[in-house]
Amino acid sequence: MSKKLKIGLFGFGVVGQGLLDIIRGQDLNLEIIKIAIKNPEKKRTLDAHLFTTDHDELLNNSEINTIVELIDDADAAYNIVKRALISGKNVVSANKKMIATHLAELVELQNKHDASLLYEGAVCGSIPIIRNLEEYYDNELLHGISGIFNGSSNYILSKIFNENLEYGVALKQAQDLGFAESNPILDVGGYDPKFKLAIATAHAYGLFINPDNILNVGIQHLSENDIRYAREKNFKIKLVPTARKISTKQVVTYVLPKFVKSDDFLYNVENEYNGVTVQAAFADKQFFFGKGAGGHPTGAAVLSDIAALRYDYRYEYRKYNQHNGLLHTDDVNLEVYLRYTHEYTVEKLQIENIVERFSRDDYKYVIGNVNLKNLIANWALLEQKDVFIAHTGKYTYTEKQIEALAQEGVLLS
C-alpha cells in the first residue's frame, strides 16, 4: 500500500505550475502543505495561505515528509536539498546544475539519513532516461550514451537548418517562446547539457564527475560559412553531449557541436524535442525521444518521481557501488571541423592528420584529428568569436584500444 505524501514545494514557476496542473483531478494520495516562493506580491490562483517566503516553514515542518525543489538558483537549491535530506525528508529536484555539482555529497547524505533523492525531471524533460539507466541498464555494459539534451539550442539549430533563419533571429524566437533565457549562454554555450551529461554518466557508468572537468563548447559562434559547409555535405549541426567508453576501463565525456548524417537518430530530432541514444553491448542501439522543455513535460517527470516515493523508491547507484574500476579520461582523438582566422589556432590545438583544408580571406577551415586533452588545455581559445569547432563523429584509437574494444564487441566509428 502506498503511503501518503505531505509535500513542501519550493518554486511555483513554469514547472511548478505544470506539476500542479497534472496533479489536479488525480487521486494520488498526496497533499501540498506549503509552497515557498520568492515574490509574495505576484498574483496567484491558489489560496494565499499556501504560500510563504520563509524556507523554514517547510524545512522545519514535521508534517511535511517530501520536499519538491523547482527553483532556478543552484546555490539556494543546494541548501534546501541538503537540509531536507539531513532532516530525513525525501526530495525530488529538477535542478540539473545543483545535482551535477553536488551529486557525490548528496548521495552520501541520503544514505546516511535514510532518505531518497530523485531527479528525473533534471535530465531531458519528459524522457525517463535516469530510471532506465538505473533499472533497465543496471547490468549492461554501455558503450556510449549521447544525444540532444537541450531544447533551446536544438530549437535554434532547427530554425536555422529547416527555415533558413539567421542565428540571431532564431535565438530571439526561442527567447520569446520561453525556451531560452534572456542570457542564453547556459543553453547555447553547452553548460546545461553538460550538467545533464554529468548526471547521466553517474547512472550509466557509476562515475561521479565534476562538471568543471567536462569540456563544453557551444553554438554561439556558428557562422553562415559553417552552415553552408554542413548543408553542402547533407549534414545538420546538433549540440551533442557524449559519454563514451574508449577502452575497457576508460570513459570520455564532452559536449560539442556535431555534424549529424541523415541516418543518425538525432537528425530528425527538431525544435524543443530531446533525443537520447544508448549503445549497449547486449541490447545494441536504442533511442529515447520526447519533449525536453516546458512545464507539463518536466512536470510529468517530477510527478513520476513523487509517485515513486509513495513506495519508498530510491536510486541504488549499482554501477557506482560495484566499484567497477572505470576511470574518467580525456585522452581520446576526435576528428573535427575547425573554422578559424589565425594559423596559430591550428598549431596550438595540435590538429594532426589533416584530410581537408580550405582557405580564403574571409573563411578558413581544416578537418583533422585533435586530442581531447588539447581542446581542454585551450578551452578559452575555443570560446573566441572567430573560432567554431564541430565533431565529425569519427574517433582515432590506438592499437591497444582497438584490440580491447573489439574484445568487448564495440563497433568503432
The catalytic residue positions are 196
CB under 8 A, 24+ apart: contacts of 33-37: 33/6, 33/7, 33/8, 33/58, 33/61, 33/63, 33/64, 34/8, 34/9, 34/58, 34/61, 34/64, 35/8, 35/9, 35/10, 36/8, 36/9, 36/10, 36/11, 37/11, 37/12
Burial class (CB in 10 A: 0-12, 13-18, 19+), 62: exposed
Q: Are 301 and 120 in contact (CB under 8 A)?
A: yes
Burial class (CB in 10 A: 0-12, 13-18, 19+), 278: buried
CA pair distance 128, 278, nearest whole angstrom? 13
Pick the closest to residue 370 from 403, 344, 337 (CA basis): 337
Provide the 8-state DSSP code for 134: I
C-alpha cell at 403: 584490440
Look at phi and psi of residue 382 and say left if phi exceeds 0, alpha if psi is from -120 to 50, else beta.
Answer: alpha
CB contact at 8 A, 244 and 394: no
Rg, the chain, Cα only? 22
- Contact between 344 and 39 under an 8 Å Cβ cutoff? The reply is no
